[in-house]
Amino acid sequence: MDIYQSYVDNIKSAIANDRKSGNINLSDFSGVRNDFQKAETRTRLLSETKQVTPLRSLQSIVNELGLHPNFNQQLGLHPDFASLKGTDNIEKHYIHSMFIDIKGSTSLFRRYEPETVLVITNTIQRAAIHTCMIFDGYIQRLHGDGMFVYFGGKNQDRAESAKRCLTAASLFTYFVKNDLKDLFSEQGIETIFTRIGIDYGKDEDVVWAMAGMAEISEVTTCSLHTSLAAKMQMHAISNGIVVGDNIKSLVPSTFYSPVCNRPGKENNRYIFTIPEESFYYTQYDFDWMGHLKSLDYITTNQLYGTINLKRRVPNIIFPKQSDNLKPIAAQSNPYLK
């Protein structure tokens, strides 16, 4: 997908600059000059991974869709609940929780130098961060290569927030499954994949409060559905997304299938149960590719099965010059009127 091309190019540059992989022809440079070139390139790439706004290719989706994301976030501090920081107060408010796990990055150390792995993993994580931010996600916590994200907040429509959450997860999964796979396959690496879990906690089921103490703290949620998002991630297949029943009820579609429908997973219909309360909570595989193809700003290449951002055609308004057309139209009656 071309919206991630700048991220792919960054990773390609890091790999091309790696000595251990044998991509650099050391005979082309003296040792000193080659080390200088490596350091200069790596510094540039690491600098780009720290940039707050998306790389140029992903910025295109912001421009095309007319989005207004908030890139000035503080980790672990959802702006709608920031007032809870440093207090013992609590609030009850809905939220969508998404846990993204990126698997297989450890194998990169077999092939590349640690500095190269740093650029690769930072770039992949940054692609995830920017994708979520674009669709109004709030980055709560970083877990190694992965991360935990909230969608929604005060004065935000919960169904619309859920749709944005599903779209962000779907786009990032496509990036990992297709764009990264093509890149790493060329390098003989097949193990990079993602797993995502998403759930929705209603107002009465989500408590917001400060966790920790002083500066060793964050404003976070205590909710069954926050915990289940992480647990569902573990039930997802490679490059799969698993969602809870609350998400399915909030955003009805044909893109859900109970996890128990998978061969060998017949006993995994429920992710959590409280039998004495007759509470049985179902988990579903989410057809993220079907979801992406249903979006009106996504176009599908029928030949290759790939998808891309549909570019808007400028609305060009031509001046009205009917008087100049009358002599021509007069020769083609009955079309004059």
* Rounded CA separation 114/54 (Å): 24
The CATH number for 68's domain is 3.30.70.1230
pLDDT tens-place string over residues 14-52: 999 888 876 654 444 444 445 556 667 767 777 776 678
* Rounded CA separation 218/73 (Å): 13
Does the pTM surpass 0.75? The reply is yes
| Residues of the domain holding 20 | 2-332
Is 285 inside a domain boundary?
Answer: yes
Is 283 inside a domain boundary?
Answer: yes
pLDDT tens-place string over residues 230-275: 999 999 999 999 999 999 999 999 999 999 999 988 889 999 999 9
Burial of 258 (0-12, 13-18, 19+ CB in 10 A): middle
Dihedral angle of Cα 9, 12, 18, 20, to the nearest 10 degrees: 160
| Per-residue confidence (pLDDT) for residue 23, from 0 to 100 | 60
Q: Residue 315: pLDDT above 60? A: no
Strands (E), the chain: 91-92, 95-103, 137-143, 146-151, 193-201, 207-213, 216-222, 240-244, 256-258, 270-274, 279-286, 298-300, 307-309
Q: Which of 102-106, 301-305, 321-325 has the lowest mean pLDDT?
A: 321-325
What is the pLDDT confidence band of residue 283, given thresholds at 50, 70 and 90? very high
| Per-residue confidence (pLDDT) for residue 330, from 0 to 100 | 61
What is the pLDDT confidence band of residue 329, given thresholds at 50, 70 and 90? low
Q: For the chain, what percent of residues have pLDDT higher than 70?
A: 86
Is 272 inside a domain boundary?
Answer: yes
Is 68 inside a domain boundary?
Answer: yes
Q: Would you give the distance in Å from CA 247 to the centre of its chain?
A: 17
* Rounded CA separation 186/182 (Å): 7
Strands 193-201 and 240-244: parallel
Q: Which of 19-23, 81-85, 283-287 has the lowest mean pLDDT?
A: 19-23
pLDDT tens-place string over residues 91-143: 999 999 999 999 988 889 989 999 999 999 999 999 999 999 999 999 999 98
* Rounded CA separation 265/80 (Å): 39
Q: Residue 190: pLDDT above 50? A: yes
Is 43 inside a domain boundary?
Answer: yes
* Rounded CA separation 140/218 (Å): 8
Is 337 inside a domain boundary?
Answer: no
End-to-end Cα, the chain, rounded Å: 47
Edge-to-edge strands, sheet with 207-213: 91-92, 207-213, 216-222
Give the chain's domain count: 1
Is 63 inside a domain boundary?
Answer: yes
Is 47 inside a domain boundary?
Answer: yes
| Per-residue confidence (pLDDT) for residue 28, from 0 to 100 | 45
- Contacts of residue 319, defined as CB under 8 A and 6 or more positions apart, other chains included, come to none
